Structure 1
Amino acid sequence: MSNPDLAPLVHRLTEIAAATEQHGPGSTLSPADARELLQLCTAATNGPVHQYFSATNSNYVVRHRTLMQSMTLEWQERMVTCLQELDNAYTHLTMPKAFKVTAATEHTVGDLTDTQLPAAGVTVDWYAGETPPEDLDLTELGEWQAEHARATPVYYRTDELREIREIDEHTKVLLPLPDPVPAYDQGRTYLPPHIDDASPGEPGETDTGAGDGTGEAAEATEEEQCDALAQQLVEIGVPAKSWNTGSQCYAVYVQLNATDNLVMTPWPDWCWALERDNTQVYTGHWGTRDMRVVAGRVKALITGLGTIITD
Structure 2
Amino acid sequence: MTTNPTDGPIHEYFELTYADHLVKPRTLLQSMPTPWQEQFVTLLRQYDDAFAHVDAPKGYKVTTGRWMQLDDMTQSDLHAAGIELNGEEPDAGPGDDTVYHRESDGTELSGRDYGFVPGPNPIPHYRHTYIEPRQPEPDPSTFCPFGENEATGAGCIKPGGHDGPHLVTPGDGDDED
**Bucket of the pairwise TM-score, normalised by the shorter protein:** 0.5 to 0.7
**Matches of 1:95 and 1:87 in 2, distance apart?**
11
- Report the alpha carbon displacement of residue 153 of structure 1 after superposing the two structures with TM: 2.7
Alignment of 1:47-86 (within 5 A): 47-86=8-47
Shift of 1:151: 5.6
**Which amino acid is 2:105 matched to?**
I
1:104 alignment counterpart: 65
**Distance across 2 between alignment mates of 1:69 and 1:106:** 27
Aligned partner of 1:120 in structure 2 is 81
Gaps of 5+ in 1: 3-38, 128-141, 201-311
Inter-partner Cα distance in structure 1 for 2:62 and 2:38: 25
Q: CA-to-partner distance for each residue in 1:84-127, whole Å, 9 max, x for gaps?
A: 11111111111111111111211121221223211222121239
Mapped partners of 1:116, 1:174: distance in 2: 9
Deviation digits for residues 165-215 of structure 1, max 9, x if unmatched? 223123221112211100112xx5311111133457xxxxxxxxxxxxxxx
Partner of 2:121: 179
1:7-86 to 2 correspondence within 5 Å? 39=3, 42=4, 44-86=5-47
Partner of 1:261: none
SS at match of 2:75: coil
Please state which structure has a larger fraction of its residues in helix: 1
- Checking the alignment, whether the CA contact within 8 Å between 2:102 and 2:109 is kept in structure 1 is no
Residue in 1 aligned with 2:169?
none
- 1:165 equivalent in alignment to 2:110: no
Shift in Å at residue 67 of structure 1?
A: 0.3
Question: Quick check: which one's strand share is greater?
Answer: 1
SS in 2 for 1:165: coil
How does the TM-score come out when normalised to structure 1? 0.40
One-letter amino acid of the counterpart of residue 167, structure 1: E
- Match of 1:118, as an amino acid? H
CA-based RMSD of the aligned residues comes to: 2.4
Once residues 52 and 136 of structure 2 are traced to their aligned partners in structure 1, the CA distance between those partners, rounded to angstroms, is 38
TM-score, length basis structure 2: 0.67
Q: Which runs of 5+ in 2 are unaligned?
A: 141-177
Equivalent residues of 1:154, 1:166 under 8 A apart: no
Q: Which residue matches 1:152?
A: 97
> Matched residues in 1 for 2:34 and 2:44: separation?
15
Q: Choose between structure 1 and 2 for higher RCO, CA contacts under 8 A separated by at least 6 residues.
A: 2
Q: CA 1:88/1:113 → structure 2, altered by over 3 Å: closer, same or farther?
A: same
* Offset at residue 71 of structure 1 (A): 0.7
What's the % identity of the aligned pairs?
35
In 2, the alpha carbon distance for the partners of 1:55 and 1:196 equals: 24
Q: How many pairs align?
A: 135
